Amino acid sequence: VATAQRTKKSAQPVRQRAKRGEGDRLRDEILAATADLLDELGSADKVSTRAVAERVGCSSPSIYLHFPDKAALLYAVCEQQFEKLAEVIGAAIEGIDDPVEQLRAAAGAYARFALEHPEQYRIMMLDEAYGKMYEDDFENMASSVGFDIIVRAVQEGIDRGLLAPADPVLVALAMWAGIHGLVSILIVKQNLALPPLDELLDNFCRQSLDGMRAR
Amino acid sequence: VATAQRTKKSAQPVRQRAKRGEGDRLRDEILAATADLLDELGSADKVSTRAVAERVGCSSPSIYLHFPDKAALLYAVCEQQFEKLAEVIGAAIEGIDDPVEQLRAAAGAYARFALEHPEQYRIMMLDEAYGKMYEDDFENMASSVGFDIIVRAVQEGIDRGLLAPADPVLVALAMWAGIHGLVSILIVKQNLALPPLDELLDNFCRQSLDGMRAR
DNA sequence: TGTACATCAGTGAACGCGCGTTCACTGATGTAC
DNA sequence: TGTACATCAGTGAACGCGCGTTCACTGATGTAC
């Protein structure tokens, strides 16, 4: 009867249909729900379109109104996440003059971002499917992931005579690889009883920055 | 009629049933086929028990004669792989006296192993499911992955005054993380047009070993 | 101001597929008497 | 030496599930006349 209408689905947030021009509202909600579910469930495989729809409060076919398929949805989430990462790194070095200290700060920001969103970091950086997204477009990825910030800091360090002369891209890659390796291990091998992040990070920065230092 | 018997399955290698005491023969064949398929297909998800059975030339229920479930099968493959990795690292440092050169050699062997078996490296090191296998048993994993070899080399380097005094485990972790990060990026971001492995490796070793060096 | 109509933003039900796993069975091999 | 029987090493068919996706539809909203 009257109550049956209420009982048809469990305690879903009954979504209001978007107004005429607001077709992208649902799109944004779907993106946000997918990002949340990634954080909660782990790999992209475990995030089903049905679960996304349930989280949003719409039907699963509605997703296909805004994304051609599941891969495109996850791709879009990835892109958003890469942008956030670049922002975080950019914010971390702001106001720091010494380029070596910039590198230290950027490394910390990168690591913290990864460990705060481990599953999103996973699909960005550890999942082959999405790893293949940025097809041989190193420049593009480099800037969207904040990598170019690191390269600039290294270059600046060399220019000022703080770091030993070298190919700044190679040097930056080595730093990136190190931090990426650290957070990957922390994310993947969660119950390995490793030293705390700060200690690992401090040690890594000391070692690798000392190795780069001009003598 | 007579030919129908031959036509029932496509060109499978018609497996000979194992003799009485040789019950483990099929077990070994299943392990090998699973390892092969991991190399070919990528993630553990894509390796189906049906595909393993087809590769071996047996029926898929036969797998359950030797493994309680799919996870146990993949776990077993992982264990084998970890052992091989430790062997490879052990072999790499044999005959080298200088511990710093040992570290360089071990890093190269590790990286080459990973890039020769990228998908097996993935499930060993990048997949959460199997990453969680070695529950908080750092000692155990450390030795099975060849990590203790690195720690010993670092310790030796410190003892001989070649490396600056430091916690050898922390130093070894930083090296491991760096190499792991490098190969992870190479595996996951395959079409990123990065410099060749040797160059990356050389540079990383130079940087990190210089950072550790006693002055 | 009223109304026919196009369009927008969705929905419920179903399809087909591949998967891990279980079930009831089979046929060869060795063993006890 | 012959034979009944236990055991070992498997098999074919099927179950049930969850998933991505499609299909035909609905009902609210704005628009033209």
DSSP code, position A20: T
Alpha-carbon Rg for chain A in angstroms: 21
For residue A42, which residues of chain B lie inside 8 Å, CB to CB?
Answer: 128
Nucleotides of C under 7 A from a protein CB: 8-14, 18-24, 28-30
How many other β-carbons are positioned within 10 Å of the β-carbon of residue A192? 17
How many other β-carbons are positioned within 10 Å of the β-carbon of residue A90? 13
Distance between CA atoms of residues A70 and A56, nearest Å = 15
Which residues, listed in sequence order, are joined to residue A194 by a DSSP beta bridge? none
CA of A63 to C1' of D20 (A): 11
| Residue numbers in chain A where pLDDT is lower than 50 | 1-12
Four-point Cα dihedral A198, A78, A31, A119, nearest 10: -40
pLDDT at A4: 32
Which residues, listed in sequence order, are joined to residue A213 by a DSSP beta bridge? A163
CA of A20 to C1' of D31 (A): 13
Nucleotides of D under 7 A from a protein CB: 8-14, 18-24, 28-30
Q: Is the pLDDT of residue B13 over 80?
A: no
Closest nucleotide to A9 by C1' from CA: C12
Q: How many CB pairs under 8 A join A and B?
A: 163
B174: nearest CB among A125, A166, A207:
A207
Q: Model pTM?
A: 0.88
User: Hey, CA dihedral for B119, B121, B124, B125, is it positive or negative?
Assistant: negative
Mean of the per-residue pLDDT values of chain B: 86
Please identify which residue in the block is written with the tokens 């959460």. Answer: B128
Strand D proximal to B211 Cβ, under 7 A: no
pLDDT at B180: 96
Q: C-alpha distances in angstroms, B166 versus A42, A105, B131, B175?
A: 36, 23, 28, 13
Tokens of B207: 């940087």
How many other β-carbons are positioned within 10 Å of the β-carbon of residue B29? 19
Strand D proximal to A22 Cβ, under 7 A: no
pLDDT at B144: 73
Contact B192 A43 (CB under 8 A): no
pLDDT at B141: 72
Residue in B94, B117, B121 with CA at minimum distance from that of residue B105: B94
Residue in B144, B100, B164 with CA at minimum distance from that of residue A203: B164
Distance between CA atoms of residues A173 and B183, nearest Å = 12
pLDDT at A134: 58
Four-point Cα dihedral B115, B119, B121, B127, nearest 10: 140
Tokens of A97: 């003059």
* Spatial CB neighbours of B11, under 8 Å, sequence gap ≥ 6: none
Q: Which long-range contacts (CB under 8 A, 24 or more apart) does A61-65 make?
A: A62/A26, A62/A30, A63/A30, A65/A26
How many other β-carbons are positioned within 10 Å of the β-carbon of residue B35? 22
pLDDT at B31: 96
Structural contact between residues B178 and A174, judged by C-beta atoms closer than 8 angstroms: yes
Please, what's the b/e burial string for A35-49 (b: 16 or more CB within 10 A of its CB; e: otherwise)? Answer: bbbbeeebbbeebeb
Which residues of A in 57-116 have their CB below 7 Å from strand D's atoms? 60-61, 63-64, 69-71
pLDDT at A43: 83
Which residues, listed in sequence order, are joined to residue B163 by a DSSP beta bridge? B213
B146: pLDDT confidence band, cut at 50, 70 and 90?
confident
Strand D proximal to A9 Cβ, under 7 A: no
Q: Is the pLDDT of residue B142 over 80?
A: no
Give the mean pLDDT of B101-121: 94
